[in-house]
Structures are given as C-alpha cells and as structure tokens.
C-alpha cells in the first residue's frame, strides 16, 4: 500500500535552515506529482509547494517563495523541502502528499504522510 | 487576492443532513477548479474524501457526496454520524500549479 513517511522536523532557531524529507513506497514515485502542505498549531491547512514528476516544474505559495525549495530524487523515492531563513510563523506540522494528475488527469491530494513537526523558537 | 471561503463552523444532528460549501471571494467555483474535500480529526493527517468535484475516494462512505451548488463547491453528508465530527477542508486548483485551501469548517454532530 502507499506509504509516505516524513522526517527531519525538530526544534530550530529563527534564521536557520532545515531540510525535510518524505520517503515514498508502495507506488511508482517517479510517476506522481508531489506536494508539501503544512498546518500551524490550531490553524488550518496551508498548501506550500508542488513539484512535477520529473522535477522540472515547481510552484510555491507566496509566503514561502524565495525561502523554501522543493526537490525530489526519484532514484531514492524521496521528496525534499529545503527551508531557510526560518521564522516563528513557520512552526507547523509539515505533510507531504501525492497528486495523481499524471496517471489520472485529476488534481487532488491522494495520499498523505503522517507529518513531521517543525518548531522554530529561540 | 482571491480567497477560498468555507463556513467556520456547522452543527448537525445525528442522522441529519448537512451541506458544507467552498466558495471564492471573487468569482464562481466550477469543476475546472478540481474541487476536492478532506476530513481531519485532531492530531491526525487529513483524509481524502472527494476529488474532482464529486468522486469519492476509496473507502469513503456514500453518505459523503460532492457537487457544485450555485457558485460554490459543496460537500453533503447525508445521515451524519458521531464520528463525522471533524474539520473539513476544501481545496481549489487556481491554475499555474497553485492550490489553495479553504479555511476549514469545524463540524459538530450533536
């Protein structure tokens, strides 16, 4: 079955950088568009960024553009989120999610990981 | 900037029917926005309910249905059960790779 496992969260100081990972299994990783979504404590879900199946196309929401970079290594079935200049407001649970637009033509978040918590605090 | 709108909260009686909506501050929602719906309980990852306006995901009970009502996407729960008490989020595809979540609706079943 499809499994997505995020890792790399933790407690970091403002202004620092961190990389999150999302390991996929149980599906053909290289055939799927992938997303990062986050949820700040007590808040709603926020879409952050998407990457095409081959990594050639990337899009970001305005709040993270220029600070966050999405990437993937299809040989390792792994998605990444490189985050820099972290702020207290980046504190959230970060989820990765699959998007079956390539095999199905339909755009949505199909499968979700369990999330990894990032806390930005001094 | 266009915002995706949802009712902040809703209440339904057990066995009752409730319709949650997903709109835009500017314009109308249509199927070309690929509206999708997600359920989330505290401390859990979201669960995908509905994609492409009205396609139920595998394992989702048929009491959940999606549609376009007027100028909004809608999620209808028919015969609400206690374990439907959750937060519900819609997502719209805005073009150019961009997705936007609505603010979520907290559904109470009582």
Give tens-digit pLDDT for B11-30: 999 999 999 999 999 999 99
* Residue closest to A115 by CA, chosen among A1, A26, A8: A8
A61/B contact by beta carbon, under 8 A: yes
| Per-residue pLDDT tens digits for A61-120 | 999 999 999 999 999 999 999 999 999 999 999 999 999 987 788 899 999 999 999 999
Q: Above 80 in pLDDT, residue B1?
A: no
Q: Above 90 in pLDDT, residue A13?
A: yes
| Per-residue pLDDT tens digits for A15-41 | 999 999 999 999 999 999 999 999 999
Contacts with A112 from chain B: Cβ below 8 Å: 45-48
Q: Above 90 in pLDDT, residue B6?
A: yes
A120/B contact by beta carbon, under 8 A: no
Q: Is the separation of the CB atoms in A100 and A32 below 8 Å?
A: yes
Q: In the numeric block, which tokens belong to residue B8? A: 């902040």
Q: Provide the pLDDT for residue B108.
A: 98
Query: How does DSSP assign A106-121, residue by residue?
Result: --S---B---EEEEE-
Contacts with B51 from chain A: Cβ below 8 Å: 106, 108, 110
pLDDT cut 70: percent of chain B above it: 100
Contact (CB<8Å) A35/B47:
no
Q: Provide the pLDDT for residue B78.
A: 98
| CA atoms of A119 and B35, how far apart (whole Å) | 31
Q: Provide the pLDDT for residue A74.
A: 98
DSSP A26: S
| CA atoms of A7 and A25, how far apart (whole Å) | 14
Taking one residue from A and the other from B, the number of pairs with CB-CB distance under 8 angstroms is: 62
Q: Provide the pLDDT for residue A104.
A: 81
Q: Is the separation of the CB atoms in B39 and B56 below 8 Å?
A: no
Provide the 10 A C-beta neighbour count for residue A106. Answer: 16
Q: Provide the pLDDT for residue B98.
A: 94
Mean pLDDT of B55-65: 97
Residue of A nearest to B36 (CA): A108
Q: In the numeric block, which tokens belong to residue B80? A: 């609400």
Q: Provide the pLDDT for residue B55.
A: 96
Task: Tell which of B42, B97, B98, B106 to mutate to test the A interface (max A CBs under 10 Å).
Answer: B97
* Residue closest to A36 by CA, chosen among A6, A57, A73, A10: A6
| CA atoms of B12 and B14, how far apart (whole Å) | 7
B63/A contact by beta carbon, under 8 A: no
State the nearest Cα–Cα gap between A88 and chain B, in angstroms: 21
Q: Provide the pLDDT for residue A102.
A: 78
| CA atoms of A68 and A84, how far apart (whole Å) | 6
Q: Is the separation of the CB atoms in A32 and A98 below 8 Å?
A: yes
Q: Provide the pLDDT for residue A42.
A: 96
């Amino acid at each position: 079955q499809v499994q997505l496992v995020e890792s790399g969260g933790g407690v970091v100081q403002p202004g620092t950088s961190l990389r999150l990972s999302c390991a996929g299994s149980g599906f053909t990783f290289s055939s799927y568009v992938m997303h990062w979504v986050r949820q700040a404590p007590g808040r709603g879900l926020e879409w952050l960024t998407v990457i095409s199946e081959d990594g050639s196309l990337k899009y970001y929401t305005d709040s993270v553009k220029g600070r966050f970079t999405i990437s993937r290594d299809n040989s390792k079935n792994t998605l990444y989120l490189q985050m820099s200049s972290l702020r207290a407001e980046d504190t959230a649970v970060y989820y990765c999610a699959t998007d079956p637009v390539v095999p199905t033509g339909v755009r949505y978040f199909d499968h979700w990981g369990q999330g990894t918590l990032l806390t930005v605090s001094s | 900037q266009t915002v995706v709108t949802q009712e902040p909260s809703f209440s339904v009686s057990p066995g009752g029917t409730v319709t949650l909506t997903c709109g835009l501050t500017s314009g109308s929602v249509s199927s070309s926005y690929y509206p999708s719906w997600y359920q989330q309980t505290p401390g859990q990852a979201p669960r995908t309910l509905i994609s492409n306006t009205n396609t139920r995901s595998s394992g989702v009970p048929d009491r959940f249905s999606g549609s376009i009502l007027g100028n909004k996407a809608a999620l209808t729960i028919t015969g609400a059960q206690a374990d439907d008490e959750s937060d519900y989020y819609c997502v719209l595809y805005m073009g150019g790779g961009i997705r936007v979540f609505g603010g979520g609706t907290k559904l109470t079943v009582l």
